[in-house]
Homo-oligomer: A and B are copies of this chain.
Amino acid sequence: MSQESFGDGDLRNTGMRLKHDREWDYELDRIVDAVCQRDAETVGLQFPEGLKRRGPKVVDDLRDRLGEDVTVMLSGQPCYGACDLDTYLMRRTDVFVHFGHSPMKESEKIIYVPLFSNVEVTPIIEEALETLEPPTETPDLGLVTTAQHMNRYGEMREFLEEQGYAVHSRRGDDRLTHEGQVLGCNYASADLPVDQVLYVGGGKFHPLGLAMEHPEKHVVIADPVNNVVTVADTEKFLKQRYGAVHRAMDAETWGVIFCTKIGQGRWEEAQEILASNDDAYLITLDEITPDRLRNFDVDAYVNTGCPRITTDDGPQFHKPMLTPGEYRIAIGEKPLDSLSFDTFHGTW
């Protein structure tokens, strides 16, 4: 049995060394049909970072079927999640295809191609049984997964029920498309009356967010992509957050980041901070990167955009970056032990 404890707080580049070859169904028929129906002259394709290298081959396949009158374009904008919709390309193409993420909100303009994984999930869940508390002691079990494995959610549930678990699940909120689905910024599907949750999916990015959001639950990770079972360990991650909060306590000036991406704008949160702090300055941008903030002369940042930029990429920025909740701790408005994970609810 391959069991190891990561728990090192480094959530970047996980799931990159794959143990399984994965094949994807790009649903070319559905795209070609849409092009014909709309008499489209331009088609825009947007892939997540990990699949951008497949882009030219998918363009080749579409060109073969569509002929020379249709121009197919690839989005070069960064794409890490459903928020990263390339609205520029979407508005300027007759058919726009977003691969690999489920929609936060349906739009007639956009074709969402989910790219379900073809990796088997039962073998790794079987391994995870040794790490889960047994159904005889703790029968209630929450079950969550990511968009890539949603196509096998029923199979996961059935297998676990056969082992004797009472499997709990819910859809979460409007931000989530499917029952049992988690996003990097939303774990409402794990708001369940259970003490342990099984996460089935690749990488540590999602389950560590889940464990931060639900610190009272035992979170077991069954990763069918890297073929490992682990327990989510938030200790190092939490130390980083407390470290950032403490470093920001002496800050005299604050940059309040408002992210202009679809699904990330928390305008009222930003306005509240500005209204109560004369030394806070509103900074608007789309991609939040260390390079882009380097030239601003402020002592610390509070990021009202994607919480995963703050928590996962935070140490790469030249000044401490906090979530809105952490900001309130740093300025003394809230006690230190109120530190919690920053999540997003609602849609764009």
Contacts and interface: CB of A to CB of B under 8 A. Distances in A.
B76 A296 contact: yes
A75 to B, nearest CB: 6
A88 B56 CA distance: 30
A50 interface: yes
A188 interface: no
Q: Taking each of A77, A258, A281, A293, which has the highest tally of chain B beta carbons within 10 Å of its own beta carbon?
A: A281
A271 B88 contact: no
Count of identical protomers in the assembly: 2
Grouping DSSP codes into helix (H, G, I), strand (E, B) and loop, the A interface class, with mixed when no group exceeds half, is mixed
Interface in A291-338: 291-293, 295-298
A63 B281 CA distance: 11
A296 B59 CA distance: 12
Given A76-B285, A282-B74, A284-B75, A49 B295 contact: yes
Contact of A56 (B73, B293, B298): B298
Nearest to A287: B287
Contact of A283 (B73, B78, B253, B283): B73
15 contacts: A49-B295, A52-B295, A56-B297, A71-B282, A74-B282, A74-B283, A74-B296, A76-B284, A76-B285, A76-B293, A76-B296, A77-B285, A86-B284, A88-B260, A88-B284
